Structure 1
């Protein structure tokens, strides 16, 4: 009898330990930080398909979207809520499908957003745009990503290797946040939009790959966000790239895990730079 009691105690302790560990992981994921995988090219050039990020959960307070694995029922309200800044990269739950998206905050509550021929206007004023030199990025198994619109920019470099030669435009938002975008030229559906005034407690989100992003400019039927997004849908802020892989890793070959790492990506800070002279 004593042995049976001991065995039951052992199993009971194991179950309790497993439950505690699961709750601890869920708590950290939901309240502090969680990993995030970039599955597309919508945030190119800064974020690439295959990047792994650390997303902090506390900068904007907590809502139903903060709870990992979409376990919480949707409800209004945010604990210790603080609006993002223009230029922040945020992870959110799609307001309808509850699928995770990652986009950049472009407009805040009360802002009027408009695009004309691909040029962004905020509150009637054009956002500063500066054309940059073409950006060359090596093509690999993860890049371009699935369903990407960037395939037409693949060329061969002097060594005969395939690279993406991307047209880059640097934007500077009101407040000074500055970052690079891809502008593939005229003729895209998302080049002209609005004007639209952002309602209270909503945000206007866009991808940096401006002509290849299903964001606030795109209808839900086309897998977009269908307009400004409720602040409560924001789950956290993208902080840093932890590591990035080129898509060649084989799960049963640990050596390939290291060979697939992209050099120079780990440790990249995802907070936007700021132009101190901008207003």
Structure 2
């Protein structure tokens, strides 16, 4: 798609955004793969439509506020990427655009409060567990109800994990596992089962104590500074002497694969590029 995006005025994320726009040929193969299009049936709520909207904003022909409702509805699931015959790297556009828009778009105070509460609880398991309990037992504002309805009535018991789990039998590999902030609270059995499957198959599992949230929530909502902070924390937490960095939560893996974008234009960009190539989903 032709464009006149002034990449030199958009900072380090300008170039990948412009390249993503250029790759789109407006064919529409992404429409059937997009869950918001299947639900809403509107062109502007498709990857193709959102690319046009973001292009117009980046060119200065449309306001951020005009595009915001449709961009906000994107789940960031990236189902459009494998459906695209042109190989549009949609991830190189949607999250960087949200990061750019965050400082230029006005939101109501209730929406800002909702985002603040989510950002200060979900990435931190202890806070999230407390907030989830409070949300189920204390009357909450109506703006929080859609999120609280996703939380089970009873949370599973808290679990903790050792720093290292030796392989059973002959050692075939050594990996580091990201525990996932929300997963530790909502379904910690997934981590325990992952460790058991790996060790039984001869894989030593390391659990870095200083690991944190993958940064996905911050990155996908446009909070670039918070996303960079989480990314840097994990760059320092995960050891170099492992064969892979594993995740068993798709959202976490997606976020860590984008650390090169999160830290683009910073002194940590090279480390982030190397880090993301070591990240693997445990089911792959």
- Scaled by the length of structure 1, what TM-score is found? 0.29
Q: Greater CA radius of gyration, 1 or 2?
A: 1
If each structure's helix is expressed as a fraction of its own residues, which one has the higher value?
2
Point out which structure has higher relative CO (alpha carbons under 8 A, 6+ apart): 1
TM-score normalised by length of structure 2: 0.29
